[in-house]
Amino acid sequence: MMRNFRMTPTISSALIALIVALWCTSASGTTVSALVRMKGHEQNKFTGLGIVVGLDGTGDTVEQATLAALPYRSLLESLGTRVGSIRELENADSFAIVQVTMTISDKGAREGDLFDATVTTLYNATSLKGGYLFFTPLRLPGPDSPTNGVWAIASGDLVVEGDNPRKAKLWQGAQMLVDHRTHVVSQAGIIELVLHNRYADHGIATTIADAINAEFEFEGYAAIARVRDAKNIEVHLPAADRAEPAAFINTMMRIPIDPSLLQGPPMVYVNRGTQTITVTGNVEISPSAISHPGLTLGMLTPAVGPDGLRPNDWASVDTTDGASRSSARLDDVLSAFRQLNVPLDDRIAILQSLEKAGVLHAELIIE
């Protein structure tokens, strides 16, 4: 039996690279480090209000955005130029007030390390092309941001990338002023292991904890790893390793895990950042039809040919493996999406509709 996916998209023809991967661990096995992260190892963002100068008539216009002139006046006065009234800046169009954002990795940073930063306009500047970011202090975001101390300073020439000239990149132009160290061991000597979303399952968490306990049991440490819930494991660091935990952590994170024991529930994992969809297991969809703006998806039985349809609007997919089935495989639906160049946002919306309707037999996780 053939199942056909009849789609009539009127959506944009922009090409989006989407990798649909069937998740399974290789026969050679995996390790604890591939399944979890340690609490305390998180990315951190630092931000600040900055001023870009040197724009060729594409900056903020004071007449239309008076607030933009206030920080610009403060900058001029800090450089020794007295500004009597904001009206004196009405014709200025070579500056822009911007937000500067820097992200550091989960491994932390040391004083002097350089990072890239993203610069985005806040008012009515039309382009940052050719601009120079004046020295901008960066802090941790939040309500106490102005008083929580300066962590880094950003400055340098900007590079506009992509189709949005109001957003630019500052390559290696943000420098750490202080160390930002990560701490993974609590004062009580506990390391928290956080399972990655795609592996968050009580069974998998128990498998990992059992492997850790088995690894260190011969050293006389019993049940040092305990499952708190489907996503978190508590590991009690032996007293002998608390002063210098690096060796213990290295051993723990390299413990091998048998792939056959990692059979969690079916899951569809969507990562907007990498524009990928990962499917764990053989996820199926019950007979259904989805109508989405500009797109119609129907699972039709028996097979219907593409009579009267334009070739680029129709895709025929065999979901049966030569046998009679009452449901379709999600992999085949995603394959049809690729054939028709369906944008990622539309794919996500359809997956959400399928989940809400109860016909997607898997957990949907979107990040």
Q: Which two tokens stand for residue 152?
A: 């880094």
| For the chain, percent of residues with pLDDT exceeding 90 | 36
Instruction: Assign residue 341 a region (left: φ > 0; alpha: ψ between -120 and 50; beta: otherwise).
Output: left
Q: Please, what is the average pLDDT of the chain?
A: 79
Checking if the pLDDT of 307 tops 80, the result is no
Top mean-pLDDT range of 116-125, 341-350, 354-363: 116-125
Checking if the pLDDT of 301 tops 50, the result is no
Helices first, then strands: H and E counts in the chain: 5, 23
Sign of CA dihedral 240, 246, 249, 251: negative
Q: Which two tokens stand for residue 164?
A: 């949005």
Q: Which two tokens stand for residue 137?
A: 């202090």
Q: pLDDT (tens digit, 9 = 90+) per residue, 186-220?
A: 999 999 999 998 888 899 999 999 999 999 987 77
CB-based contacts of 362, cutoff 8 Å, min separation 6:
265, 266, 267, 268, 279, 280, 281, 283, 330
- Return d(Cα 53, Cα 132) in angstroms, integer: 5
Note the pLDDT of residue 362: 81
H or E segment to which residue 168 belongs: strand 167-176
Distances (CA, A) of 103 to 36, 40, 80, 118, 311: 21, 15, 33, 9, 45
Q: Which carries the bigger pLDDT value, residue 184 or residue 2?
A: 184
- Return d(Cα 130, Cα 133) in angstroms, integer: 10
Give backbone dihedrals phi and psi of 149, rounded to 5 degrees, phi first: 90, 150
Assess contact for 131 and 96: CB atoms under 8 A.
yes
Q: Which of 210, 232, 206, 233 shows the shortest CA–CA distance to 223?
A: 210
pLDDT-derived band at 81 (thresholds 50, 70, 90) equals low
Checking if the pLDDT of 231 tops 60, the result is yes
User: For 184-198, 235-249, 299-313, which range has the lowest pLDDT when averaged over its residues?
Assistant: 299-313
Q: Which of 298, 276, 277 shows the shortest CA–CA distance to 289?
A: 298
Note the pLDDT of residue 292: 63
Task: Summarize the confidence of residues 346-363 as an average pLDDT.
Answer: 84
DSSP code at position 276: E
Helices (H), the chain: 69-78, 202-217, 246-253, 330-339, 344-356
Amino acid letter, residue 26 = S
Assess contact for 74 and 82: CB atoms under 8 A.
no
Q: pLDDT (tens digit, 9 = 90+) per residue, 114-169?
A: 999 999 999 889 999 999 999 999 998 876 655 578 999 999 999 998 899 999 99
Task: Summarize the confidence of residues 316-344 as an average pLDDT.
Answer: 66
Q: Which of 63, 111, 71 shows the shortest CA–CA distance to 88?
A: 63
